[in-house]
Chain A
Amino acid sequence: MSISVRDLWWKYGEEKDAPWILKGVNLDVKEGEFVVITGPNESGKTTLCLCLNALIPYNFLGGFKGHVRVAGMDTRDHKISDIAPKVGMVFQDPDCQFITLSVDTEVAFGPENFGLSIDEITERVDWALRAVRMEAYKYKPPRALSGGQKQRVAIAAALAMRPDVLVLDEPTSNLDPVGKAEVLEIISELRKEFKLTAIIVEHNVEDCVAFADRFVLMYDGNIEFSGPPEEFFKHEKKLKERWVRLPQVTELSHLMMKNEAFDSKNIYLTLNEAYESIDQMFKRRQKLGRKKKGN
């Protein structure tokens, strides 16, 4: 098991009456799995991500109960610097993540901390920048980059550490549609090539449907339910109550299921699936229509 979260409770601040942000979260993520965590604001998604690389409880004051095990290490028994080689994290705000004053030093920052050789660091920097298509910006300062470019550099900086687990908190929020698709594709490719476990917090689930193995719905500090996309998006009413916007083709498939005229029982997750299914439907009806005419 790559990540195991057992009965995790967390609250910010040590006061007795401080509200619990995470309330007994249980989550298992297998090695190589691509998990998307979604849910409305203030449901604890970012807080859960901070628990996965030991920033909580070491960098934040608060109350912590339960266990988080990442790549065999319990975050309560290991320092952040021990867990960092195993878990790469990309935060929401790309500006805040830029520590150094140029792209190449930023991407090299993680490997430098591990004491790798300069040749190894150079190789990783070049590889990571190629992976996110930012090689042309290698020597640029952060001031010269757009928000989306900064986010890509942040992803490269996490990738350069060659972690086992990559945790991304809304990584595509500042990217254009092409950029979003590229980043998710890159993560998916890396997952296949390096057996990378990816956990992404995302509001716009439509972009992730083609890549995700599992979706998790968080609400009010706990996980309500999770499952593969075809199971997850069956819970249309629940998802809408929790302000999760379904992919448009999935909404279409729900509408079609409700309408007897369509005789549809399938959930569509992608445009191609919907097109093929509807195409089959029309062909069947055409056949039926010809048969009736013949009779």
Chain B
Amino acid sequence: MNKLGHHGGGAEVVPGRRAFLWYAPSWTRFSLLSPLTRVGIGIFFNIAAYLVPFSLNIVLLASLLILMHLSRVKWKTMWFIWVGNAILLASFLVSYGIFDNKGIHVIFEWWLIRVTVENLASGFVLWVRMMTTIFGTLFILTVCTDNDLLMSLRLLNIPHFLSMIVAFTFRGMQLFFDDMFAIVEAQKSRGLDLDSLSVFQKFKWFVALVVPLFVLEFRKMEETANSADSRGYSLHGGKKRTDYKLEEAKLHRIDYLILSFLMVLLVYMILNSFLPLGFNLLPF
């Protein structure tokens, strides 16, 4: 029996938390870093994807996948990402086939679609950049909780009311989905058979639900604002607020090192992209 009282199997049980649409580990190696550093790593990849040449982009994407693996994310639980990736690639390739007719080396041609080696290459390059951006965002969502995202805003000394807006948005989204699922379950218990409806009918049904749901959520947010006010929250100055959790999220030496390194790298990439040729410090 292992520490959590499970018998056999051999698989390690990793305590998880609900991330956006999947379960992420509660603790990862990256949890030792400040939330700002974790967010910074994800943002670095998002920006760098559009600044570097294709060969480096492959390296970036591979690095991101390794980082995701190090964060102990269960790839099986993210099957929808893989399905989405496949659909995205196919759509890019078809789009390039339809709209970009400049290629010379034709592989396949039918009606509007003209698949050339050049089209495929362009589509693939764009897809790799998109994947780097998507996985960069997924990395942030995997290694950062909602609270971490708020803490990283506060570490940047962003005015508190802006981080409150972000917190309210997160809370609002949670309440929205909870209420939506509750209504769907209630309607199902009253005989609604969603599975038997066509895609168009399902869409119509959900759209009819959205307006009253939004009205309900706005009302709830108003009550939340009253709750904040009744606990002394003052938007227009007033006493200086203490930040209870900021101490835990403060940057340490390792965070400064990582962030400095990433910033230097980013500045180099920007200069390399936008300044005239001849600036290249490195041969790539």
Q: Which residues from chain A sit less than 8 Å from chain B, CB to CB?
A: 50, 53, 55, 58-59, 79-81, 84-85, 87-89, 91, 93, 95-102, 104-105, 108-118, 121-122, 125, 141-143, 157-158, 161
Could you tell me if A118 and B244 are in contact, using CB atoms closer than 8 angstroms?
yes
Could you tell me if B226 and A59 are in contact, using CB atoms closer than 8 angstroms?
yes
Could you tell me if A81 and B242 are in contact, using CB atoms closer than 8 angstroms?
no
Nearest Cβ distance between residue B217 and chain A, in whole angstroms? 10
Residue of A nearest to B223 (CB): A96
Residues of B within 8 A of A100 (CB): 147, 167
Could you tell me if B238 and A98 are in contact, using CB atoms closer than 8 angstroms?
no
Residues of B within 8 A of A110 (CB): 231-232
Complex partner residue of B232 from A58, A96, A114, A141, CB under 8 angstroms: A114
Residues of A within 8 A of B223 (CB): 91, 93, 96-97
Which of B90-98, B117-125, B170-178, B195-203 lies at the interface? Answer: B170-178
Q: Could you list 5 further interchain pairs (A-B, Cβ under 8 angstroms) beyond the known A125-B244, A141-B17, A142-B174? A: A81-B234, A87-B230, A96-B224, A99-B164, A109-B228
Q: Which residues from chain B sit less than 8 Å from chain A, CB to CB?
A: 17-18, 145-147, 150, 164, 167-168, 170-171, 174-175, 178, 220, 223-234, 238-245, 247
Which has the most chain A C-beta neighbours within 10 Å: B18, B146, B168, B231?
B231
Kindly state the separation between the CA atoms of A239 and B215 in the bound complex, as whole angstroms: 36
Could you tell me if A101 and B244 are in contact, using CB atoms closer than 8 angstroms?
no
Could you tell me if B230 and A112 are in contact, using CB atoms closer than 8 angstroms?
no
Could you tell me if A161 and B232 are in contact, using CB atoms closer than 8 angstroms?
yes
Kindly state the separation between the CA atoms of A53 and B229 in the bound complex, as whole angstroms: 10
With A79-B234, A108-B244, A115-B240 as contacts: A99 and B227 at CB distance below 8 Å = yes
With A117-B242, A118-B247 as contacts: A99 and B232 at CB distance below 8 Å = no
With A59-B226, A79-B234, A93-B223 as contacts: A141 and B239 at CB distance below 8 Å = no
Kindly state the separation between the CA atoms of A84 and B226 in the bound complex, as whole angstroms: 11
Nearest Cβ distance between residue B11 and chain A, in whole angstroms? 24
Residue of B nearest to A108 (CB): B244
Could you tell me if A116 and B242 are in contact, using CB atoms closer than 8 angstroms?
yes
Could you tell me if B241 and A102 are in contact, using CB atoms closer than 8 angstroms?
no
Nearest 9 A-B pairs (CB), nearest first? Answer: A84-B232, A113-B232, A96-B223, A110-B231, A108-B244, A81-B234, A115-B239, A89-B230, A101-B146
Residue of A nearest to B177 (CB): A143
Residue of B nearest to A110 (CB): B231
Kindly state the separation between the CA atoms of A87 and B230 in the bound complex, as whole angstroms: 8
Nearest Cβ distance between residue B1 and chain A, in whole angstroms? 23
Could you tell me if B232 and A101 are in contact, using CB atoms closer than 8 angstroms?
no
Could you tell me if B226 and A91 are in contact, using CB atoms closer than 8 angstroms?
yes
Nearest Cβ distance between residue B137 and chain A, in whole angstroms? 19
Complex partner residue of A101 from B145, B225, B229, B241, CB under 8 angstroms: B145
Could you tell me if A98 and B226 are in contact, using CB atoms closer than 8 angstroms?
no
Residues of A within 8 A of B178 (CB): 95, 143
Nearest Cβ distance between residue B147 and chain A, in whole angstroms? 5
Residue of A nearest to B228 (CB): A99
Kindly state the separation between the CA atoms of A21 and B238 in the bound complex, as whole angstroms: 32
With A101-B145, A101-B170, A102-B147 as contacts: A80 and B230 at CB distance below 8 Å = yes
- Return 7 A-B CB contacts under 8 Å, by A number: A81-B239, A91-B227, A95-B175, A113-B231, A115-B240, A143-B18, A161-B231
Residues of A within 8 A of B229 (CB): 55, 58-59, 80-81, 84
Complex partner residue of A55 from B145, B164, B230, B243, CB under 8 angstroms: B230
Residues of B within 8 A of A116 (CB): 242
Residues of A within 8 A of B150 (CB): 101
Nearest Cβ distance between residue A280 and chain B, in whole angstroms? 48
Kindly state the separation between the CA atoms of A99 and B233 in the bound complex, as whole angstroms: 11
Kindly state the separation between the CA atoms of A56 and B242 in the bound complex, as whole angstroms: 27
Complex partner residue of B242 from A97, A112, A142, CB under 8 angstroms: A112
Residue of B nearest to A92 (CB): B223
Nearest Cβ distance between residue B185 and chain A, in whole angstroms? 16
Complex partner residue of B241 from A88, A89, A112, CB under 8 angstroms: A112
Complex partner residue of B238 from A81, A109, A112, CB under 8 angstroms: A81
Could you tell me if B231 and A109 are in contact, using CB atoms closer than 8 angstroms?
yes
Could you tell me if A95 and B231 are in contact, using CB atoms closer than 8 angstroms?
no
Could you tell me if B226 and A99 are in contact, using CB atoms closer than 8 angstroms?
no
Residues of B within 8 A of A102 (CB): 147
Residue of A nearest to B242 (CB): A112
Nearest Cβ distance between residue B244 and chain A, in whole angstroms? 4
Kindly state the separation between the CA atoms of A143 and B171 in the bound complex, as whole angstroms: 9
Nearest Cβ distance between residue B228 and chain A, in whole angstroms? 5
Residues of A within 8 A of B242 (CB): 111-112, 115-118, 121
Could you tell me if B174 and A96 are in contact, using CB atoms closer than 8 angstroms?
no
Which has the most chain A C-beta neighbours within 10 Å: B146, B228, B229?
B229
Nearest Cβ distance between residue A25 and chain B, in whole angstroms? 20
Nearest Cβ distance between residue B190 and chain A, in whole angstroms? 22
Residues of B within 8 A of A80 (CB): 229-230, 232
Could you tell me if B231 and A84 are in contact, using CB atoms closer than 8 angstroms?
yes
Nearest Cβ distance between residue A165 and chain B, in whole angstroms? 12
Nearest Cβ distance between residue B174 and chain A, in whole angstroms? 6
Which has the most chain B C-beta neighbours within 10 Å: A55, A89, A111, A113?
A113
Kindly state the separation between the CA atoms of A102 and B249 in the bound complex, as whole angstroms: 15
Could you tell me if A81 and B18 are in contact, using CB atoms closer than 8 angstroms?
no
Nearest Cβ distance between residue B77 and chain A, in whole angstroms? 18
